[in-house]
Amino acid sequence: MSTSPPLSRPLTTAYYPALTGIRALGAFLVFFVHFRPAGTPELVGRVATAFYITLSMFFVLSGFAIAHRYQQSVRMSWGWWRDYFWHRAARIYPTYLLLNTAALARVYWPIPAGKLGNTLLLVFLSESLLRGFSNTLKYVGVPPGWSLTPEECFYVTLPVLLLLWQRRGILGAVGFALAMLAIGLGLTALCQGRPELHGFFGTYHHLFNFTFFGRVLEFTFGVGLARWWGGRPSGHTTGWPRLTIAGGLAVVATIAALAWINSPQTPYDGNLYPSTIILNIVVFPLSMTFLLAGLLAESSWLRTWLATPWMDEAGKRSYFFYLLHVGLLSVWWHDTFGWGRHIFGQLLVTALLAEIGYRCFERPLHRWILARTVNRPNATAGQPATAG
């Protein structure tokens, strides 16, 4: 894949509905990682469990979407960094704050006598997204929120990666990924086996399964895709969908391999087999990069389906759905109906609440914040390449 034109070109804000639609597909697959009907056959359950790998797709998509939006405008100036971080915070934090605070209140309120300091520390680590660095505290609050920690790390480091890629080419990107990995390895070497740190960089399994430093390639592949795409118009397509077919087959093969290997997992360390970790953080994101390239550049029935209005709209609600699907609702559902009962009803209710949350909270608040805090000439930087 060739690199995109120089970053001095005007910012491109094209919209790719197929890349938004695939977010909906990924969110629904993640739902079935956690919830399946009672009596699901073992083989089906193993395949469904392997769908956890679709989280990697969201990291690749984030790499593409944010790099595509900013690669032609990145600047090392205070004003640019301020607006950049404010746009990213306005996009993801209000919904997280709403759902995470509700989960924290359910668990920690009222505060037990003598536990004020400990409770405030847990709330701070959760609300600040620092919990994702700890293998023992990352589920404090709304459980899926741990994944926003690597996402935020990517936001912080993306401008550096873009500038390195601009000035040093692919070697700059390789150097960036190796530097992030080295930082993670160094922190884990220093912190593991120290109980007083409460699991922060506590194990190498946690490093590679849950942190940006171990999963940096997923985001880097997405940025590479944005560099390759280089702002071509969304209607530009080629003939036979070779990339779509090759990437799709590789994605299916990776999921099949994970189901076949059936690596043991723990909630705090994730995959325990090196082979499945490599499939998760290298093979699958690379396969997904080719699939996404096909969805961008080629005409196919998959692209047509993902770009339908229903999938496009569902993709815009996928963030709210993802944070909501494990938490207060799922606990109430299983307390009320039992584990594995009426799962498709649970899916429908989750989707309906995500629709309400998106229409009544996420979208209007995002627009309200930007309309009142961002100068109009700069506000176009917040328009999505995808809905991410």
How many angstroms separate the CA atoms of 81 and 157, rounded? 11
Q: Provide the CB-side half-sphere exposure for 288 (13 A, CA).
A: 32
pLDDT by residue for the chain (388 residues), tens digit each? 444 443 333 344 678 999 999 999 999 999 999 999 999 999 999 999 999 999 999 999 999 999 999 988 888 888 899 999 999 999 999 999 999 999 999 999 998 888 999 999 999 999 999 999 999 999 999 999 999 999 999 999 999 999 999 999 999 999 999 999 999 999 999 999 999 999 999 999 999 999 999 999 999 999 999 999 985 655 556 678 999 999 999 999 999 999 999 999 999 999 999 999 999 999 999 999 999 999 999 999 999 999 999 999 999 999 999 999 999 999 999 999 998 999 999 999 999 999 999 999 999 999 999 888 765 444 433 344 554 5
pLDDT of res. 218 = 98
3-class SS at 270? strand
Tokens of 217: 């390639």
pLDDT of residue 13: 60
Alpha helices per DSSP H over the chain: 17-34, 42-50, 54-70, 78-108, 116-127, 148-168, 170-191, 204-210, 216-229, 242-261, 274-278, 284-297, 301-306, 309-316, 318-324, 328-337, 343-357, 363-373, 376-379
Q: Rounded to whole angstroms, what are the CA distances from 71 to 3, 204, 223?
A: 12, 32, 9
pLDDT at 12: 47
Q: What whole-number distance in Å separates Cα of residue 20 and Cα of residue 47?
A: 24
Structure tokens given for 342 = 């009426």
Eight-class DSSP state of 145: G
pLDDT of 77 reads 86
Half-sphere exposure in the Cβ direction for 11 (13 Å, CA):
19
Q: Can you give the pLDDT at residue 375?
A: 56
Q: What is the pLDDT of residue 233?
A: 57
Amino acid at 303: R
Global pTM reads: 0.91
Tell me the C-alpha distance between 375 and 356, whole Å. Answer: 29
CA distance to 117, 199, 283, 346, 377, per residue, from 194 (Å) = 21, 8, 32, 40, 49
User: How far is it, in rounded angstroms, from Cα 91 to Cα 196?
Assistant: 34
CB–CB of 3/227 below 8 Å?
yes
